[in-house]
Structure 1
Amino acid sequence: MKLGTMADLTADITSEKRERIDTIKAEMVDAERGHELAALRKAQGFTQVQVAQAMGVTQGRISQIERGLARLDTSTMAAYLHAIGGELTITATVGNLSVRL
């Protein structure tokens, strides 16, 4: 069985299917980020309750974040990381030049 190119494989994807694929991709990214945040929290010795109190949210919200059930924007990630003693840094790279924003 020959699979062909990526263009061959995706040629018949409708806009509805593309939307569903994009949604699934976003859910997977959120789940991975949540898993990583939970690992960082545990490594620092914090409970979900402690992080929730520091962020001013409920423990249930922290659970949603860590299970990938919440969309993570940069301000939420920054607040979470701040609550466990860290910080969110963003680096822009263009060519061989990088700038921390």
Structure 2
Amino acid sequence: MNLGSMDDLTADITPEKRERIDAIKAEMIDAERGHELASLRKAQGFTQVQVAKAMGVTQGRISQIERGAARLDTSTMAAYLHAIGGELTITATVGNLSVRL
């Protein structure tokens, strides 16, 4: 059985379908990140209420973040991690060179 190339498989995807696929992908990434943040919070022994207070948001907002119901930008992730005693680090890699930003 010949499945062809990825280009063959995606050749008939319309721009509308591509937009929907990209939206679903973003939702899945947000859900995964939220789950990971919740796991870190629980491992540190913090409640959603404590994190919300430290971030200056509502407990409902923390719930949205952890369920993947909220878009996560780097400043929100950094604030969340700071609230549980962590930090967000970003590393840029070009070829063999890596720099922590």
Q: Which TM bucket (shorter chain)? A: over 0.9
5+ residue gaps in structure 1? none
Aligned length: 101
5+ residue gaps in structure 2? none
Matched residues in 2 for 1:31 and 1:40: separation?
14
Q: Deviations over 1:17-52 (max 9, x none)?
A: 000000000000000000000000000000000000
Q: Secondary structure of 2:61's partner?
A: helix
Matched residues in 2 for 1:2 and 1:65: separation?
42
Matched residues in 1 for 2:3 and 2:13: separation?
15
Q: Secondary structure of 2:93's partner?
A: strand
Identity %: 91
The CA RMSD measured in Å over matched residues stands at 0.6
Matched residues in 1 for 2:2 and 2:97: separation?
41
Partner of 1:46: 46
Q: CA deviation at 1:3?
A: 2.0
Q: CA deviation at 1:2?
A: 3.2
Runs of 4+ in 1 over 6 A off after TM superposition: none
Partner of 2:93: 93
Q: Deviations over 1:47-84 (max 9, x none)?
A: 00000000000000000000000000000000000000
TM-score under structure 2 length normalisation: 0.98
